[in-house]
């Protein structure tokens, strides 16, 4: 424990655990930003420049105030920012016996049958070759600007010769009826660190891509406006549809007709009842946030 009061104050505030919070939180958590700024300068002022005890108390007060108001500063919970799109694997490898490979997967040499990711270091060489082939094709089709926001998630390899092994291990539902593909690659399009849109690419036994690209060509792609914040999206949505609250979810979606990405802000169902329920939605063009559209969504509820 530091001997001086100023050092003690600085030491105590450091124990709050608010010194390593990112400044790039787009959910509106400005208290995190304040806390981080103050904490970054706290030790510099208190220890290196030997400032007054009054200033140390002031800085600590700012930290405490920010720490106590975190829950009030957020405009939307991260859990409500959901994924968009569909992997599309059900059309190609549904219920097939497969092994999945991903970066960060298990290094075990005994591969399980429950779909737990296996390390990419253990993937057969053909998978690495096909991954390069897939990504080169996407880059040529959609262009570098789109591709730089695309992230590899995982790949599954269908192993029909292992069908009986899977069944013996408890996977009684596996079948070869829907196995149109030999490999299926999973990708995420990520305009920022939170939102994501799912894509899947299927490859047959002849190492040919057999699934359509469900994203815009290079001539059609309009880059996402990355200066947005989720609080800003909520404000835009409320201007377009004053009755959008309470908000249930924000997701990134893609319109295959207009070839545009858009933010979908969906209202939570109010006074839900059995049967068909309606709720408000606002679509915001992800490339031009001034373009909005209102619509009504519906959901059926059965008790």
pLDDT tens digits, 217-256: 999 999 999 999 999 999 999 999 999 999 999 999 999 9
Alpha helices in 151-288 (DSSP H): 163-168, 230-240
- Kindly give, in sequence order, each residue whose CB lies less than 8 Å from that of residue 159, ignoring residues fewer than 6 positions away: 97, 98, 99
Helix (H, G, I), strand (E, B) or coil at 7: helix
Number of domains in the chain: 3
pTM of the model: 0.76
Flag whether pLDDT at 38 surpasses 50. no
Domain presence at residue 215: no
Q: Does 186 share its domain with 119?
A: yes
| C-alpha to C-alpha distance for 88 and 199, rounded to whole angstroms | 7
Q: Which of 25, 59, 74 is the last residue of a domain?
A: 74
Domain presence at residue 139: yes
Domain presence at residue 211: no
Question: Can you name the residues that pair with 150 across neighbouring β-strands?
Answer: 189
Identify the domain containing residue 30 by its residue range: 5-74
Average pLDDT over residues 263-286: 96
Q: Does 186 share its domain with 137?
A: yes
- Kindly give, in sequence order, each residue whose CB lies less than 8 Å from that of residue 48, ignoring residues fewer than 6 positions away: none
pLDDT in tens, 114-172: 878 999 999 999 999 999 999 999 999 999 999 999 999 999 999 999 999 999 999 99
Domain presence at residue 209: no
Q: Does 195 share its domain with 90?
A: yes
Residue 70 in contact with residue 32, Cβ under 8 Å? yes
Radius of gyration of the chain measured on its C-alpha atoms: 25
- Kindly give, in sequence order, each residue whose CB lies less than 8 Å from that of residue 266, ignoring residues fewer than 6 positions away: 247, 248, 249, 250, 251, 279, 280, 281, 297
Residue 300 in contact with residue 273, Cβ under 8 Å? no
Q: What confidence category does residue 72 fall into, taking pLDDT thresholds of 50, 70 and 90?
A: very low
Question: For the chain, what is the mean pLDDT?
Answer: 83
The pLDDT value given to residue 166: 94
Farthest CA pair distance, the chain: 75
Helix (H, G, I), strand (E, B) or coil at 253: strand
Flag whether pLDDT at 271 surpasses 80. yes
The pLDDT value given to residue 116: 86
Flag whether pLDDT at 81 surpasses 90. yes
Q: Does 49 share its domain with 98?
A: no
Query: In 81-102, which positions are buried (b, 16+ CB within 10 angstroms) versus exposed (e)?
Result: bbebbebbbebbbeebbbbbbb
Domain presence at residue 142: yes
Residue 283 in contact with residue 264, Cβ under 8 Å? yes
The pLDDT value given to residue 208: 98
- Kindly give, in sequence order, each residue whose CB lies less than 8 Å from that of residue 191, ignoring residues fewer than 6 positions away: 149, 224, 226, 252, 261, 286
DSSP state of 161: G
160 or 1, higher pLDDT = 160
Q: Which of 74, 96, 119 is the last residue of a domain?
A: 74
Q: Which structure tokens are listed for 124?
A: 């057969």
* C-alpha 23, offset from chain centre: 18
Average pLDDT over residues 277-294: 97
Flag whether pLDDT at 9 surpasses 50. no
Residue whose structure tokens are 């995420």: 188
Domain presence at residue 263: yes
Flag whether pLDDT at 85 surpasses 90. yes
Domain presence at residue 151: yes
Flag whether pLDDT at 71 surpasses 50. no
Flag whether pLDDT at 88 surpasses 60. yes
CA nearest 81: which of 236, 266, 273, 257? Answer: 266
Average pLDDT over residues 41-57: 48
What helix, strand, coil percent values describe the chain, rounded to 5? 35, 25, 40
């Amino acid at each position: 424990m530091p001997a001086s009061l100023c050092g003690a104050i600085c030491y105590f505030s450091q124990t709050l655990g608010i010194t390593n919070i990112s400044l790039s939180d787009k959910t509106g958590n400005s208290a995190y930003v304040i806390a981080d700024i103050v904490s970054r300068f706290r030790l510099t002022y208190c220890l290196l420049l030997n400032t007054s005890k009054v200033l140390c108390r002031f800085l600590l007060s700012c930290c405490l105030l920010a720490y106590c108001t975190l829950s009030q500063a957020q405009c939307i919970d991260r859990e409500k920012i959901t994924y968009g799109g569909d992997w599309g694997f059900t059309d190609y490898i549904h219920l097939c016996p497969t092994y999945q490979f991903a970066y960060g997967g298990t290094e075990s040499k005994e591969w399980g049958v429950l779909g737990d990711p296996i390390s990419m270091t253990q993937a057969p060489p053909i998978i690495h070759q096909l991954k390069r082939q897939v990504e080169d094709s996407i880059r040529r089709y959609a262009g570098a600007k789109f591709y730089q926001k695309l992230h590899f998630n995982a790949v599954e390899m269908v192993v029909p010769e292992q069908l009986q092994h899977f069944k013996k291990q408890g996977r009684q539902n596996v079948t070869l009826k829907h196995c149109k593909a030999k490999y299926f690659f999973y990708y995420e399009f990520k305009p920022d660190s939170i939102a994501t849109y799912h894509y899947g690419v299927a490859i047959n036994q002849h190492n040919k891509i057999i699934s359509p690209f469900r994203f815009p060509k290079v001539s059609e792609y309009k880059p996402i406006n990355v200066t947005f914040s989720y609080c800003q999206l909520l404000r835009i949505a409320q201007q377009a549809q004053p009755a959008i609250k309470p908000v249930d979810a924000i997701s990134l979606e893609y319109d295959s007709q207009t070839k545009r990405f858009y933010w979908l802000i969906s209202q939570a169902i109010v006074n839900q009842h059995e049967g068909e329920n309606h709720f408000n939605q606002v679509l915001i063009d992800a490339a031009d946030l001034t373009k909005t559209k209102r619509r009504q969504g519906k959901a059926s509820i059965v008790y």
